[in-house]
Amino acid sequence: MNVAVCVKQIPDPAAPPALDPGTKNLVRDGKLILDDSDAYGVEMALQLAEAAGGGEVTLVSMAPNGETSGLRTALAMGAAKAILVSDPALAGCDALGTAKVLAAALKRAEPDLILAATESSDGYTGTTPVQVAELMGLPSVTFAKKVSTEGGTVKVERQTEAGYDEVVSPLPAVVTVTAGVVEPRYPSFKGIMAAKSKPVETLTVADLGLDAASVGSAGARQEITNVAEAEARAAGEIVVDEGEGHLKVIEFLEQLKVI
């Protein structure tokens, strides 16, 4: 079974983020890393391919400047190859534009199953994967906490507020996985050494046969009009425990109506 995983490469969250004052977009000039959220998708894909007794895991990513650092991490974990779409025309792309690009790239991989994260760590609109499914005319199942495949179907336990739903869908399908569903493996040293020579196909908007006007800032229907500083967190209240500290805590929680 061939599984394609959408992986987003993002600026290192540990480094201080910067916004472009003009476009108000996140500056993505430096090295990009594999979004932690997508490490779960990669792990799930590797496990599903192994469980199915074979098949390849292909990564699909859209990122500026031909960036492959994050892809190499996922290749070192065991993915076989990657498709990267990188093109100056994609600057200012919104989630729908991204979905168009990813859908076109995913078609080339001819996957039996497409995995993505529920939401990315930096943009977190959580809208891209479902748009990909819609554009590809595929069923989509979101918030998966458990995924298995059998014959031509995928079985998903879908996280809900009350518990989970069991969903069965025909393949191919798009499934988004939540963080923590599987424990992403460490890349082995051998895997890291092998990652360097695994194929990464780099494509432009034209290569995908997409109209440049439909993607990037030209095609964006979303514009960031203002960015405001988040309110500074107010100092907390310190309760000195003189034997009845727990009552104060209960009182506080009752005020919040959480108990």
Partner 1 sequence: MFEWSEEQLMVQEAMRRFIEAEVVPNIDDLEHNGVPPFDIIRKMYATFGMDQMARDRFKKQLERKISGQEESAEERAERAGDGGAAAMTLIPIIELCRYCPGIVTSMGVSVGLAAGTIMKQGTPAQMERWGLDLLTAEKVGSWAITEPNSGSDALGGMTTTARRDGDGYILNGNKTWITNGPYADTIVLYAKLDDGSDTPIRNRQVLTFILEKGMEGLEQSKPFRKMGLNSSPTGELFLTDVRVGPEHLLGETEDERSGSGRDSAKGNFVTERAGLAAMSLGLIEQCLQLSIQYAKDRVLWGTPIGDFQLIQLKLAKMEVARLNVQNLVFRHIEMSAAGKSLSLAEASAMKLYSAQAASEVAMEAVQLMGGNGYTADYRVEQLARDAKVYQIYAGTDEIQITHIAKDLLRR
Ligand X SMILES: Cc1cc2nc3c(=O)[nH]c(=O)nc-3n(C[C@H](O)[C@H](O)[C@H](O)COP(=O)(O)OP(=O)(O)OC[C@H]3O[C@@H](n4cnc5c(N)ncnc54)[C@H](O)[C@@H]3O)c2cc1C
Binding site for partner 1 (CB under 8 A): 69, 72-73, 76, 186-193, 195-196
In whole angstroms, how close is the CB of 17 to partner 1 at the nearest point? 19
Q: Which is nearer to ligand X, 25 or 214 (CB)?
A: 25
Residue 94 binds which entry of ligand X, partner 1, none, CB below 5-8 Å type-dependent? ligand X
In angstroms, give the least distance from the CB of 4 to ligand X.
10
Binding site for ligand X (CB under 6 A): 6-8, 25, 35, 37-38, 61-64, 90-95, 98, 102, 116-117, 119-120, 122-129, 224
Q: Are 39 and 182 in contact (CB under 8 A)?
A: no
Q: Which is nearer to partner 1, 25 or 69 (CB)?
A: 69
93 binds, among ligand X, partner 1, none (CB under 5 to 8 A by kind): ligand X
Name the minimum Å distance from CB 185 to partner 1.
8
- Nearer Cβ to ligand X, position 56 or 178? 178
How far is Cα 248 from Cα 191, in angstroms, rounded to an integer? 53
Per the structure block, which two tokens stand in for 230? 């988040």
Binding-site partner at residue 133 among ligand X, partner 1, none, CB < 5 to 8 Å by type = none
DSSP the chain: --EEEE--EEE-TTSPP-B-TTT-PBP--S-EEE-HHHHHHHHHHHHHHHHTT---EEEEEE-GGG--HHHHHHHHHT--EEEEE--GGGTT--HHHHHHHHHHHHHHH--SEEEEESS-SSS----HHHHHHHHHT--EEEEEEEEEEETTEEEEEEE-SSSEEEEEEESS-EEEE-TTSS-PPPPPHHHHHHHTTS-EEEE-TTTTT--GGGSHHHH-S-------PPPPPPPPPPPP-SS-HHHHHHHHHHHTT--
- Residue with Cβ nearer partner 1 (92 or 187): 187
Q: Which does 186 bind (CB under 5 to 8 A by kind): partner 1, ligand X, none?
A: partner 1
72 binds, among partner 1, ligand X, none (CB under 5 to 8 A by kind): partner 1
Minimum Å distance from CB 99 to ligand X? 8
Q: Pick from ligand X, partner 1, none: which does 208 bind, CB < 5 to 8 A by kind?
A: none
Q: How far is the CB of 237 from ligand X (least distance, A)?
A: 35
Angle at 240 between CA 236 and CA 243, to 5 degrees: 140
Give min distance, CB of 193 to partner 1, in A.
Answer: 7
